[in-house]
Amino acid sequence: MILALDQGTTGTTALVIDHAGRVRGRGYAELPQHFPKPGWVEHDPDQIWASVVAAAARALAAAKLARTRITAIGVTNQRETTLLWDKRTGEPVARAIVWQDRRTSERCAELRRRGGEAMFRRRTGLVLDPYFSATKLEWLLAHHPRARRLAAQNRLAFGTVDSWLVWKLTGGLVHATDPTNASRTLLYDLRTQRFEADLLKRFGVPANILPQIRPSAGDFGRTRGARIVPDGVAVAGVAGDQQAALFGQGCVRAGQSKNTYGTGCFLLLHTGAKPVRSRAGLLTTVACGPRGEIAYALEGSVFIAGAAMQWLRDGLGLIGSAAESEALARSVPDSGGVVLVPAFAGLGAPHWRADVRGMLSGLTRGTNRAHIVRAALESMALQSRDLVEAMARDAGTRVRALQVDGGAAANAWLMQYQADLLGIPVRRPRVIETTALGAGLLAGIATGFWRSHLEADAARRLEREFRPARDARWRRAEVARWDAALARLLGTRGR
């Protein structure tokens, strides 16, 4: 069996996968988020690791499987989230700064004013936004004097969450990342496929704190003292969550695309062996080819999707669980004119506006919680629709069907609304945890458990296809409502 670990923003999922691609056991553990100031989002690195240990134990128990049956471990992770720790003791220097965190917005604006945007776009495929790791790392180095002292002693380690987990799994023997995660730091040049000294210099990052870049389907050491499995199990597959989901969906060649509905929404279009530069506000990022080798993709990133359900549950108390949202959405014929633009952490692609915040509009005396919950679900599909349109402009071709995965893809109402809104089929596989599946496939290919991603065919079999049932007139009206709300929000901030 393969153990796949998917460390996400709000929790960790673990899957035990057999050779046919069947999921034999699942485990999940929530991860607390910390919000010390408005716009700040942090994780405790030790809590991240504890969630991984708990999720893995639950998956193995559900599979009724001895730990000795695990052949290899695959790791996938929330990307961009930035950690620092002491190489000698393994002790974190500070809380991790999460990808959603916006504390470096002004620093990014300063870099743009200096004319840096074009260079970073050309070399890294990314935009100057607090989303990415470099300004988070710069901030940590500036605000934690201990970090600089440790760096001077060659004791400081930087990593995205994958590097932290590999370090913990191998008992501190391996400090490494893979190209998909490295490409999200603003420090990695797509042409040379490595961290570049002049990019490091711009952010004051010492080279000795960086992880080694290893192939996504490659050798990341063996377990030592990890508690999850016995010592000596291969850690053999690593990829950022969205690239892992792309691989898990079988999208390994140019023209194939998927959308993941998780904490955020992430639409990726595989573009093959050469990077495609976006002219429509999308990102160019590293992806995986059929055997985990470096390939490229266009990506659209929506910061708040499923996180809006968490807000409705924990912030407003409108629902007891995300699962309630489907029945509530079906209980009303429409959103009653309510539109939610969930820019709680700014807007991602294709707008890239770190300065804006969320807006709930169209409220009347007749508005009830079902209308607000439905508007939150609609916002996931409407934001995804904007990405599909931008991707079609960049790629010069229309998306013919959309592969979907992630927790919110289980919501049948949302998937039908997405199909209606796009006017194309939306295809949901039997296993919607394709992020974890992708990491498991990479680990299996690296160790010879599978010769090809095609061997695990049970995992990608279609569970349901949602076909559009609305006409173009309805679609235009829905989009116009959304566009009007966006215009009001962006217009108030000087657009």
Longest Cα separation, the chain: 65
Q: How does residue 495 score in pLDDT terms, banded at 50, 70 and 90?
A: very low
Looking at the predicted structure, is the pLDDT value of residue 280 above 70? yes
Please give the radius of gyration of the chain, using alpha carbons only, rounded to the nearest integer.
21
So what's the pLDDT on residue 302? 87
Q: How does residue 284 score in pLDDT terms, banded at 50, 70 and 90?
A: very high
Looking at the predicted structure, is the pLDDT value of residue 490 above 50? yes
Q: Which two tokens stand for residue 316?
A: 């407003």
Which one, of 427, 162, 387, 91, lies nearest residue 267 by Cα?
A: 387
Q: How does residue 460 score in pLDDT terms, banded at 50, 70 and 90?
A: low
Question: Measured between alpha carbons, how far is residue 476 from residues 469, 473, 483 in Å?
Answer: 14, 5, 10
How far, in Å, CA of 301 to CA of 251, rounded? 18
Backbone angles phi, psi at 122, to 5 degrees: -65, -40
Residues 6+ apart with CB under 8 A from 375: 335, 338, 339, 340, 360, 362
Which one, of 372, 404, 411, 409, lies nearest residue 388 by Cα?
A: 404
318-327 pLDDT, tens per residue? 999 888 999 9
Query: If you average pLDDT over residues 455-467, what whole number do you get?
Result: 76
How far, in Å, CA of 135 to CA of 82, rounded? 10
- Answer for the pair 345, 100: CB distance below 8 angstroms, yes or no: yes
- Answer for the pair 378, 366: CB distance below 8 angstroms, yes or no: no
- Owner of token pair 């260079």: 119
In whole numbers, what is the pLDDT of the chain averaged over residues?
90
Which one, of 78, 140, 77, lies nearest residue 103 by Cα?
A: 140
Looking at the predicted structure, is the pLDDT value of residue 308 above 80? yes
Looking at the predicted structure, is the pLDDT value of residue 492 above 70? no
How far, in Å, CA of 55 to CA of 11, rounded? 9
- Coil vs helix vs strand at 461: coil
101-121 pLDDT, tens per residue? 989 999 998 998 888 888 999
Amino acid at 406: G
Percent of the chain with pLDDT over 70: 97
So what's the pLDDT on residue 253? 85
> Can you give the pTM of this predicted structure?
0.84
Looking at the predicted structure, is the pLDDT value of residue 343 above 70? yes
Residues 6+ apart with CB under 8 A from 217: 236, 237, 288, 291, 292, 293, 442, 443, 445, 446
How far, in Å, CA of 383 to CA of 221, rounded? 40
35-94 pLDDT, tens per residue? 999 889 999 999 999 999 999 999 999 988 766 789 999 999 999 999 999 999 999 999
147-159 pLDDT, tens per residue? 989 999 999 999 9
59-74 pLDDT, tens per residue? 999 988 766 789 999 9
So what's the pLDDT on residue 456? 65
How far, in Å, CA of 242 to CA of 286, rounded? 10
187-197 pLDDT, tens per residue? 999 999 999 99
Torsion of CA 213, 216, 217, 218, to 10 degrees: 10
How far, in Å, CA of 2 to CA of 21, rounded? 9
164-206 pLDDT, tens per residue? 999 999 999 999 999 999 999 999 999 999 999 999 999 999 9
∠283-286-287 over CA atoms, to 5°?
A: 110
- Picking from 126-140, 343-357, 450-464, which range would have the lowest pLDDT averaged per residue? 450-464
Q: Which 8-state DSSP code applies to residue 366?
A: T
How far, in Å, CA of 305 to CA of 358, rounded? 12
Which one, of 225, 213, 217, 124, lies nearest residue 173 by Cα?
A: 225
What domains are there in the chain, each with its CATH number? 2-241 (3.30.420.40)
Beta pairing class for 2-7 and 11-17: antiparallel
Q: Give me the residues paired with residue 29 across strands.
A: 12
Number of CB atoms found within 10 A of residue 33's CB: 18
Q: Give me the residues paired with residue 259 across strands.
A: 267, 404
So what's the pLDDT on residue 340? 94
- Residues constituting the chain: 495
Torsion of CA 304, 309, 314, 317, to 10 degrees: 140
Beta pairing class for 83-86 and 11-17: unpaired
204-248 pLDDT, tens per residue? 999 999 999 999 999 999 999 988 899 999 999 999 999 998 998
So what's the pLDDT on residue 458? 58
How far, in Å, CA of 332 to CA of 317, rounded? 19
Query: If you average pLDDT over residues 123-140, what whole number do you get?
Result: 93
